[in-house]
Amino acid sequence: MDNYLEGLERAMQKMPATKESKERFVLPSPRVFYEGKTTVLENFMSIADTLNREPDHLMKYLLQELGTAGKIEGQRGIFQGKFSEPAMARHIESYFEEYVVCTECRLPDTHLTKNDRVLMLKCDACGAHRPVRKRKATTTVQKDLIEEGETYELRIESVGNKGDGIAKVDKFLIFVPHAVKGEVVKVKIKKISGTLAFAEIVERVGKAS
Ligand SMILES: [Zn+2]
């Protein structure tokens, strides 16, 4: 019996540790910078690759969620307008939840397949399958990009008439008292009025350069 168990243990050790490596799957973080009035998602292709999805599919999703135009350029994704890194990360996360991860076993080893014109997500690891959820209207998603009471890290891009620092995120102009141009601050959104938001500094992250 002992020999049998030892043998079994040895056999287990020899097995490739695929399961373990899958469990360590980490959602890639977007690296974002701005070029003029566009947002560059530097590691777009690498994200699509990690998620094992068609770059065009991911791009189409992001454009729809952000409500903007854009394109893939080499390794990068280019988006019209300015979108923050946290906002981008949130959309990538929702793409992952919707089009990549298996809801049964939480592994990302899945593929998309069409069944009677219904887009299905099929899991290669456990065999589970589910229909992909129907898309929400983009208008309702866009409104939620900035929320009252939430904190965001922002770069102050300009200074308003009354001396408040101003940052732009998506379609929002965010006014931050006591912040200076070029500074990176963590702020809490106090109030949103249309596309204007008013925030207070929680933490000063980086000096103006
Ligand atoms: Zn599964």
- In this prediction, residues 47-69 reach a mean pLDDT of 95
* Of the listed ranges 3-7, 92-96, 195-199, the one predicted with least confidence: 3-7
The answer to whether domain 26-140 and domain 146-206 are alike in fold is no
Residues 6 or more apart whose CB falls under 8 angstroms from that of 11 comprise none
Q: Tell me the CA–centroid distance for residue 46 and ligand 1, in Å.
A: 23
pLDDT value, residue 2: 58
Q: How confident is the model at residue 139 (pLDDT cuts 50, 70, 90)?
A: very low
Q: Tell me the CA–centroid distance for residue 19 and ligand 1, in Å.
A: 12
Find the length of the chain.
209
pLDDT value, residue 144: 57
* Of the listed ranges 34-38, 77-81, 159-163, 185-189, the one predicted with least confidence: 159-163
| Domain spans in the chain, listed from the N-terminal domain onward | 26-140, 146-206
Q: Tell me the CA–centroid distance for residue 130 and ligand 1, in Å.
A: 10
Q: Tell me the CA–centroid distance for residue 196 and ligand 1, in Å.
A: 43
- In 3D space, the residue among 176, 147, 129, 145 whose CA is nearest the CA of residue 62 turns out to be 145
Give the Å distances, CA to CA, from 13 to 1, 9, 16, 18, 167: 18, 6, 8, 12, 54
Q: Tell me the CA–centroid distance for residue 122 and ligand 1, in Å.
A: 8
Question: Which residue is it, tokens 């965010």?
Answer: 174
Torsion of CA 89, 91, 93, 97, to 10 degrees: 180
Q: Tell me the CA–centroid distance for residue 86 and ligand 1, in Å.
A: 28
Q: What is the mean pLDDT of the chain?
A: 85
pLDDT value, residue 141: 41
Distance (Å, rounded) from C-alpha 166 to C-alpha 163? 9
Q: Tell me the CA–centroid distance for residue 99 and ligand 1, in Å.
A: 13
Q: Is the pLDDT of residue 149 over 60?
A: yes
Q: Is the pLDDT of residue 119 over 60?
A: yes
Q: Is 114 exposed, middle or buried (0-12, 13-18, 19+ CB in 10 A)?
A: exposed
Q: Tell me the CA–centroid distance for residue 62 and ligand 1, in Å.
A: 25
pLDDT value, residue 135: 55
Q: Tell me the CA–centroid distance for residue 18 and ligand 1, in Å.
A: 14
Q: Tell me the CA–centroid distance for residue 178 and ligand 1, in Å.
A: 50
pLDDT value, residue 142: 46
Q: Tell me the CA–centroid distance for residue 125 and ligand 1, in Å.
A: 5
Domain covering 26-140, topology: Defensin A-like (3.30.30)
Which tops the pLDDT comparison, 92 or 21? 92
Q: Is the pLDDT of residue 45 over 50?
A: yes
Which tokens go with 157?
């891009």
Distance (Å, rounded) from C-alpha 35 to C-alpha 92? 21
- In this prediction, residues 143-161 reach a mean pLDDT of 83
Q: Tell me the CA–centroid distance for residue 14 and ligand 1, in Å.
A: 24
pLDDT value, residue 137: 44
pLDDT value, residue 194: 77
CATH of domain 146-206: 2.40.50.140
pLDDT value, residue 5: 65
- Give pLDDT tens digits for 62-116: 999 999 999 999 999 999 999 999 999 999 998 998 999 998 998 999 999 988 8
Measured CA angle at 44 (ends 78, 33), to 5 deg: 55
